[in-house]
Amino acid sequence: MSTPVPPSYLLRLSRLFIGLSLLLIAPSLARAAHHAEPELDQYGGWTGLKGTATGFFHLEEVDGREWFITPEGNVFFGVALSHMLSGETETAATINFGRNKEKWIRDSVHKARAMGYNCALGGASSPERNLNGFVDIALAERIFQEEKFPYAAGVILLKHPWEFVDGEELPDIFAPSYRELIESRAKKVCPPIKDDPMVMGYYYGFGAFNHSDQWVNHHLSLAPNSPGRVAIVDVLADRYKNDVKALNNVYGTRHSSIAALKTTEEFTFEKALERRNFPAIGDKLDSRRKADFEAILSKMSNHLYSMAHTAIRRWDNNHVIFGSFIKEWAISAQSWQAAAPFIDVVSPQHLNPSIDLNAIADAADKPMIVSDEDFGFHYPMGKGGRYNAVESHDARGEIYVANMKRLYADPQIVGVSYCACLYDQDGNTLKKNLHNGFYDFQGRSRPGLIQQVTDINAQVYKLAPKYGTKAEVEALHHKLFETWEKYELKGR
């Protein structure tokens, strides 16, 4: 007859078994925890996929996808806020930080990073967003350095339309004085940072050629034999082989000669050409006039970017050149191609349901930053402006998620900068009753929006390495604009 096993012994045995089991599975649990959070280098790059370590941010294709590569050689997908720091944040900064700019800027970096933003692709602030000078650029860049928050430096080429004051004229970008201006800006910005690994590269500002018809017609209206007027007319002379009859036939004009357009005779392009890249508009325009107009813009783009490239490379061969952050409809793939030898990425501002950004990247044979993307704005009580108006801040979050999934899936895209601010803005933005912050003036958060943004940003190194096929990218593109249509208030 067997001896009964005491219950206390069985209890001790079961505890021992559980303890041994935990010891055996502990390494697996540790590995799982380790893989749950991607390991990042000091610049925010993911150590799970390697490029070439050069000591500076650069661009490289790794496993079929384009990436930024950090100075340590790890892949990096840039996720930024275009207007994290803005002059129109003055009210919110005063309420929440007593106008202590260092506290405001440092807290802004912490808040942005907590939501998964890992850099400032559009610099500390852009000129049109700092018209009152409230953002101290030097202070912001010092804090970026201390917080190890990679950023771009601005060598601003052209003013944003918001910056012009009454009576101010556009420059002649072909004039020697303009070249001297760009050289002086590069000389001021580049030498102090040329060996700085925290600087990602150079951007040229927002809004170049937003009103392309004005830029072209401005150069055609300059004083007789001005460098810009001569350069533009030379494009027409070349295209028409100096045959004024052929030119007159296309435009219904009575010019005496093409050469006369450089001095005494006026020539202008129609306003509608500004939006020629929208099929609904461009398909109705004379294809010959469109081709002339685009050839002129290609000439201007090539000249502008060549000049800036020379000015920057005179001082700095280490950093990436982003170029201007341009509306996707402002210049076509042809003009991006003309600028391509002098930039490292193309940087159209927004994904668009009717304009193919991938065709731009293909034409230029460059990776792409989506440089000022938006995800809708909220206008409380339906008052104020209606530009990209959506139902709520939670709706903005849903659009943001759809947008990021589309971007992660696209192997040509290396980063995105969003047209958004941490806090609601004062000034002209307040006059429009436009609320585009993650926090209101009093610093109260919008938790639904913040949670959605934080969750999808956190998936950057889970989703971006698993980029999609062309068909999958197209499906996510359609899904994005279906989400826009679901929440957009235009016409309601």
Domain assignment of residue 307, yes or no: yes
Cα distance between residue 273 and residue 487, in whole Å: 30
Mean pLDDT of 243-253: 98
Residue 151, H or E segment: strand 151-154
Q: What are phi and psi of 181, to 5 degrees?
A: -60, -45
The CATH number of residue 113's host domain is 3.20.20.80
Residue 68, H or E segment: strand 65-69
Structural domain span for residue 306 = 46-221+268-487
Residue 229 contacts residue 219 (beta carbons within 8 Å): yes
What pLDDT was estimated at residue 197? 99
Q: Write the CB contacts of 409 (distance below 8 Å, at least 6 apart in sequence).
A: 463, 467, 468, 472, 473, 476
Domain assignment of residue 257, yes or no: no
Domain assignment of residue 217, yes or no: yes
Cα distance between residue 75 and residue 89, in whole Å: 33
Mean pLDDT of 86-95: 95
What pLDDT was estimated at residue 65? 98
Summarised one tens digit per residue, pLDDT across range 149-194 is: 999 999 999 877 777 667 778 899 999 999 999 999 999 999 999 9
pLDDT band at 33 (very low <50, low <70, confident <90, very high): very low
Mean pLDDT of 218-228: 98
Domain assignment of residue 251, yes or no: no
Summarised one tens digit per residue, pLDDT across range 371-415 is: 999 999 999 877 777 788 999 999 999 999 999 999 999 999 999
Summarised one tens digit per residue, pLDDT across range 408-462 is: 999 999 999 999 999 999 998 888 888 999 999 999 999 999 999 999 999 999 9
- Closest Cα to residue 213, out of 237, 232, 239, 240? 232
Domain assignment of residue 468, yes or no: yes
Judging by DSSP bridges, how do beta strands 413-418 and 320-325 pair with one another?
unpaired
Q: Residue 8 above 70 pLDDT? A: no
What pLDDT was estimated at residue 131? 82
pLDDT band at 207 (very low <50, low <70, confident <90, very high): confident
Average pLDDT, the chain: 92
Q: What tokens were used for 63?
A: 């496993």
Domain assignment of residue 333, yes or no: yes
- Closest Cα to residue 221, out of 210, 233, 212, 209? 233
Q: How many domains does the chain have?
A: 1
Summarised one tens digit per residue, pLDDT across range 298-352 is: 999 999 999 999 999 999 999 999 999 999 999 999 999 999 999 999 999 999 9
Place of tokens 């969003």: 418
Domain assignment of residue 34, yes or no: no
Residue 451 contacts residue 114 (beta carbons within 8 Å): no
Domain assignment of residue 185, yes or no: yes
What is the number of helices (H) and of strands (E) in the chain? 17, 12
What pLDDT was estimated at residue 6? 55
Residue 71 contacts residue 56 (beta carbons within 8 Å): yes
